[in-house]
Amino acid sequence: MSNNEMSRDEYLRFIKQKTGPGAPAKIQTRVKSPKKSQPTILSAAQFRAEHVDQDEHDLQSLGIEWFGLAYPQLLMYAIPNAAKRSIILAAKMKAEGLVSGVPDLHLAFPHHGKPGLYIETKTINGSVSDAQAIIHAYLRGVGYTVSVPITFEEFQEAVIDYLKP
């Protein structure tokens, strides 16, 4: 027996110590065998709908990461409007100018007569609120481009289209 192995008696003492009074929860020694089932085959669209495009945070983070790599010379920043926060913090932010409905991201780069691009990220099942629709209409009315992508590819397309020469 090597130095790293336990004898049967050492093993039984070890188990008794781990399962005696004051010990942590029981160690499960049996492993249930998984039920065998047929693998589910998903189309790319189904896979995205179930696993990729389900979280606005993930879509926005991925978009920001891609933008930083693709356009390091330009400024795109987040506008923190949707986070759950305490009543006190919400009141402070409102006093500082927080406006409900403002899009999630702003590309601060005038191009082709437009002052900038605003992006409101949504999931496949998400929708624009009434407050967002009003703000989007205002921003478009004063010349901004506003996009509401629901996938990473739509995010890229909105930026690339806005920045086309």
Per residue in 11-28, pLDDT (tens digit) is 666 666 655 555 544 444
For residue 12, being part of any structural domain is answered with no
134-149 tens-digit pLDDT: 999 999 999 999 999 9
Mean pLDDT, residues 117-122: 96
For residue 23, being part of any structural domain is answered with no
Angle at 126 between CA 130 and CA 121, to 5 degrees: 90
What pLDDT, on the 0 to 100 scale, is given for residue 125? Answer: 86
Range of the domain at 73: 44-163
For residue 28, being part of any structural domain is answered with no
For residue 1, being part of any structural domain is answered with no
Q: Model-level pTM?
A: 0.67
Type of residue found at 110: P
Cβ neighbours around 109 below 10 Å, total: 16
For residue 26, being part of any structural domain is answered with no
The number of angstroms, rounded, from the C-alpha of 101 to the middle of its chain's C-alpha atoms is 19
For residue 33, being part of any structural domain is answered with no
CATH of the domain at 122: 3.40.1350.10
What pLDDT, on the 0 to 100 scale, is given for residue 81? Answer: 78
What pLDDT, on the 0 to 100 scale, is given for residue 28? Answer: 47
pLDDT at 75 over 90: yes
Q: How many domains does the chain have?
A: 1
For residue 144, being part of any structural domain is answered with yes
Identify the residue with better confidence: 23 or 88. 88
What pLDDT, on the 0 to 100 scale, is given for residue 55? Answer: 81
Mean pLDDT, residues 100-110: 96
